Amino acid sequence: MPPNAFAGAQLSINLDAITPNWRALGARLKSGARAGAVVKADAYGLGMAAVARALHAAGCRDFFVASLDEGVDLRKLLSDCRISVFFGPQPGEAEEFSRHRLKPILNDLGQIELWRTHASRGAPGKAVLQIDTGMSRLGLPPEEVARLEAEPERLSGLDIAFVMSHLACAEQPEHPMNEAQLAEFKAALESLGQIVGPAKTSFANSSGIFLGPEFHFDLARPGAALYGINPTPDKANPMSEVVRLQGKILQVRRVDSPRSVGYGAAHMVARPSWIATVPVGYADGYLRSASKQASGYIRGVQVPVVGRVSMDMITLDVTEIPPEHAQPGALVDLIGGPHSIDAFAAEAGTIGYEILTSLGRRHRRSYIENGREREGAA
Average of per-residue pLDDT across 288-293: 93
pLDDT at 2 over 80: no
Q: Tens digits of per-residue pLDDT, 119-129? A: 999 888 899 99
pLDDT-wise least confident of 3-7, 158-162, 217-221, 237-241: 3-7
Q: Are 279 and 266 in contact (CB under 8 A)?
A: no
Question: Per the residue annotation, which of 30, 76, 235, 263 is the catalytic one?
Answer: 263
Which CATH topology does 243-375 take? Answer: Lyase, Ornithine Decarboxylase; Chain A, domain 1 (2.40.37)
Confidence band, pLDDT 50/70/90 cuts, at residue 378: low
Q: Is the dihedral of CA 94, 190, 202, 354 positive or negative?
A: positive
The CATH class given to the 32-226 domain equals: alpha beta
Q: Tens digits of per-residue pLDDT, 36-66? A: 999 999 999 999 999 999 999 999 999 999 9
Q: Where in the chain is the domain with CATH 3.20.20.10?
A: 32-226
The DSSP string of 134-170 is: S--SSSB-HHHHHHHHH-GGGGTT-EEEEEE---SST
Question: Per the residue annotation, which of 40, 227, 282, 367 is the catalytic one?
Answer: 40
Q: Where in the chain is the domain with CATH 2.40.37.10?
A: 243-375
Tell me what pLDDT residue 370 has: 92
Q: Are 60 and 35 in contact (CB under 8 A)?
A: yes
pLDDT at 3 over 70: yes
| Nearest residue to 296 (alpha-carbon basis) of 348, 354, 346, 246 | 246
Quote the pTM value: 0.94
pLDDT at 250 over 70: yes
DSSP 3-state of 242: coil
**Cβ atoms < 10 Å from Cβ of 241:** 16
Compute CA 18 distance to the chain's CA centroid, rounded to the nearest angstrom. Answer: 12
Confidence band, pLDDT 50/70/90 cuts, at residue 365: very high
Any catalytic annotation for residue 282?
no
Q: What backbone torsions phi and psi does residue 217 show, to the nearest 5 degrees?
A: 50, -135
Average of per-residue pLDDT across 19-35: 98
CA torsion, ordered 116, 118, 119, 124, to nearest 10 deg: -130
pLDDT at 116 over 80: yes
Confidence band, pLDDT 50/70/90 cuts, at residue 199: confident
How many whole angstroms separate alpha carbon 245 and alpha carbon 254?
A: 26
| Nearest residue to 86 (alpha-carbon basis) of 38, 133, 46 | 38
